[in-house]
Structure 1
Amino acid sequence: MTIRPLVILPDNQLRLTSPAIAKVDDGVRRLAEDMLETMYDAPGIGLAAIQVGELTRLITMDVSREGEDRQPMVLVNPEILWSSEDKSVYEEGCLSIPEYYAEVERPAQVKVRFTNLAGEPQEIDAEGLLATCVQHEIDHLNGVLFIDHISKLKRDRVIRKFTKQAKEKTRI
């Protein structure tokens, strides 16, 4: 397993739409292992393949609490089949937008279809933090960031900050 470098805002890769994975093979399984290792190292609770520079529909998650056994999840080609009308608000952060957090409103419950690493179709009903996390990561696969769900003023401020930081790093 390899810890991979994270793609950080304002990198335009984060705005790309990831294509579906045609077949779950050893390459997909290796990428999933690397993503889990990277996610745990960061530390984070979710990671989309595009966040490690891989344009493919793969996400990893683990919403277990500190002190609990890890419960890693790998979703290949995830898609939301149903979303509740009820909403919930969580303070979200993102490994690609380090140290920035904002409250985001999303559907409180979702039903998600995906393929597991054995190539088998699966469905999960998610609520609470898991529902928020899976929606956040599927957004990444569609080129959407959590800051797209906040006010334009706040979003523009965050983008300016990270663009400035990126320019300063390239000067060094």
Structure 2
Amino acid sequence: MTVLTIRTVDDPVLRRVADPVTDFDAELDRLVRDLGETLEQARGAGLAAPQLGVSLRVFAINPDLPGNELRLDHLVNPVLEFPDAEEQDGPEGCLSIPGVYLDTKRRMNVAAKGYTKLGDPVQVVGSGLLARCIQHETDHLDGVLFIDRQDPERRARLLTTLRAADWWDDAAAPTVRVSPH
């Protein structure tokens, strides 16, 4: 079992747009397994490759998320589509920002197209928590964190909380980015 260290908000890899996966090989298979095992150990809903320091467009999700009829546990090179404009606003956290949970607006429904680690095309359609997770992990692949989605009031509360965290480094304070989704 390979459980890797999850990078925290002050790591620059989390702010870079990840590269598309071009080789569906043993290295990708190992990365997907590492993502899954690290996610299981951390007891999270999802984990993106940049959170392990790997700047590739792949993420793992917990296959037990409500609405995941495919039992999909990873997605490579995801592309998101939104079938409607319905939104949800609910609690969200991130394994790269330990201990911080804030209500975050997301789209309620999503269709994610991508590939399996074998290069087979796949699509997952989800709503609610599954849609939130897919959007959150895809944001990681675009160098966007959930703190970037906060309104000014929530962002101020979040920064206060972050500054009080044991692992916070003022020299590496995060910048705010805008999600392309």
TM-score by length of 1: 0.86
- Structure 1: runs of 5+ lacking an equivalent: 66-70
1:20-169 to structure 2, matched below 5 A, reads 20-62=20-62, 64=64, 71=71, 73-152=73-152, 153-162=156-165, 165-167=167-169
The Cα of 1:19 is off from its aligned counterpart by: 0.7
Q: Distance in 1 between matches of 2:101 and 2:83?
A: 24
Q: Distance in 1 between matches of 2:54 and 2:161?
A: 24
Contact 1:90/1:132, CA 8 A, preserved across alignment = no
The Cα of 1:165 is off from its aligned counterpart by: 2.8
Secondary structure of the residue that 2:55 maps to in structure 1? coil
Q: Distance in 2 between matches of 1:124 and 1:167?
A: 38
The Cα of 1:78 is off from its aligned counterpart by: 0.6
Residue type at the aligned position of 1:123: Q
Contact 2:82/2:107, CA 8 A, preserved across alignment = no
CA distance change for structure 1 residues 4 and 137 in 2, over 3 Å: closer, same or farther?
Answer: same
Q: Distance in 1 between matches of 2:161 and 2:123?
A: 35
Q: Distance in 1 between matches of 2:85 and 2:140?
A: 22
CA distance change for structure 1 residues 8 and 83 in 2, over 3 Å: closer, same or farther?
Answer: farther
Contact 1:21/1:76, CA 8 A, preserved across alignment = yes
Identity %: 33
Q: Distance in 1 between matches of 2:161 and 2:14?
A: 15
Deviations along 1:78-116, one digit per CA (max 9) or x if unpaired, are 110235200012211110001110001111001111101
Q: Distance in 2 between matches of 1:12 and 1:92?
A: 22
Q: Distance in 1 between matches of 2:37 and 2:124?
A: 23
The Cα of 1:25 is off from its aligned counterpart by: 0.9
Contact 1:49/1:55, CA 8 A, preserved across alignment = yes
Residue type at the aligned position of 1:120: D
Secondary structure of the residue that 2:82 maps to in structure 1? strand
The Cα of 1:63 is off from its aligned counterpart by: 5.1
CA distance change for structure 1 residues 7 and 86 in 2, over 3 Å: closer, same or farther?
Answer: same
Q: Who is 1:16 aligned against?
A: 16
How big is the alpha-carbon RMSD for the aligned residues of Structure 1 and Structure 2?
Answer: 1.9
Q: Distance in 1 between matches of 2:100 and 2:77?
A: 28
Contact 1:110/1:125, CA 8 A, preserved across alignment = yes
The runs of at least 4 aligned residues of structure 1 exceeding 6 Å deviation read none
Q: Distance in 1 between matches of 2:90 and 2:63?
A: 13
TM-score by length of 2: 0.82
